[in-house]
Amino acid sequence: MDRILIALALALGLNGCAVYTIASTATVLATGRSPTDHMASISTGWDCSTLQVFQGQYWCEITPTYNQSGL
């Protein structure tokens, strides 16, 4: 009985981590950025992506802004 309760407690405890891992993986596959990358991009205004590091680039890069008025 104790083993069942311990296994149940571990399964419920890991459940939240599993949901985050699945959501994080889906986000990376869909956008190329992790949830942390999205929050860093929003807070800094830069283009942040962990995948850029593996390509020899910086984690966050300044995104170019273009003059929309054509001048």
- Looking at residue 10, its pLDDT comes to 65
* pLDDT band with cut points at 50, 70 and 90 for residue 13: low
Inter-residue contact 60 to 41 (CB < 8 Å): yes
Domain boundaries, the chain: 2-61
- For residue 71, pLDDT over 60 is answered with no
Beta bridge partners of 61: 47
The pair of structure tokens assigned to 32 is 């190329």
pTM over cut 0.85:
no
Q: Which two tokens stand for residue 63?
A: 């995104």
Q: What is the pLDDT of residues 19-58, one digit of tens each?
A: 778 788 888 889 888 888 999 999 988 989 988 899 999 9
3-state helix, strand, coil in the chain (%, to 5): 60, 5, 30
Query: How many degrees, rounded to 5, is the angle at CA 26 between CA 38 and CA 59?
Result: 35
Q: How confident is the model over 2-6, as a mean pLDDT?
A: 73
